[in-house]
Amino acid sequence: MSSKKSPAKKPEKFQFDAIVIGTGPGGEGAAMQLSKAGKRVAVVERYELVGGGCTHWGTIPSKALRQSVSRLVEYNTNSLFNDNHTRNLSFQDMLNHASAVIRKQTQLRGGFYQRNNVPVFHGEASFIDQHHIQIKRNDGSFETVSADKFVLATGSRPYTPKDIDFSHPRIYNSDTILALKHEPKHIIIYGAGVIGSEYASIFRGLGIKVDLVNMRDRLLSFLDAEISDALSYHLWNNGAVIRHNECYSKVEGRDDCVVMELDSGKRMKADCLLFANGRTGNTDMLNLESVGLKPDSRGQVKVDSNYRTEIDNIYAVGDVIGYPSLASAAYNQGRFAAEAMLHGKCDTRLIEDIPTGIYTIPEISSVGKNEQELTAQKIPYEVGRAQFKHLARAQISNNLVGSLKILFHRETKAVLGIHCFGENASEIVHIGQAIMQQQGAGNTMDYFVNTTFNYPTMAEAYRVAALNGLNRIFD
Q: Which residues are annotated as a binding site for FAD?
A: 45-54, 63, 154-156, 319
CB atoms within 10 A of CB 284: 12
Tally of CA atoms within 13 A in the half-sphere of 245 that contains its CB: 2
DSSP codes of every residue in 260-292: EEETTS-EEEESEEEE---EEES-TTS-GGGGT
Biggest CA–CA distance in the chain, Å, is 106
CB 46 within 8 A of CB 123: yes
**Known binding-site residue numbers for NAD(+):** 191-198, 278
Backbone angles phi, psi at 278, to 5 degrees: 90, 165
Cα–Cα distances in angstroms (integers) from residue 342 to residues 19, 36, 38, 100, in the given order: 14, 11, 10, 37
Cα–Cα distances in angstroms (integers) from residue 461 to residues 219, 324, 390, 415, in the given order: 26, 28, 9, 15
**Known binding-site residue numbers:** 45-54, 63, 154-156, 191-198, 278, 319
**Helices 194-205 and 225-237: angle between axes, nearest 10 degrees:** 30
Beta bridge partners of 243: 213
Q: H or E stretch including 17?
A: strand 16-21
Query: What is the spatial distance between Cα 407 and Cα 422, in angstroms, rounded to a whole number?
Result: 18
DSSP state for residue 3 in the 8-state scheme: P
CB 122 within 8 A of CB 138: yes
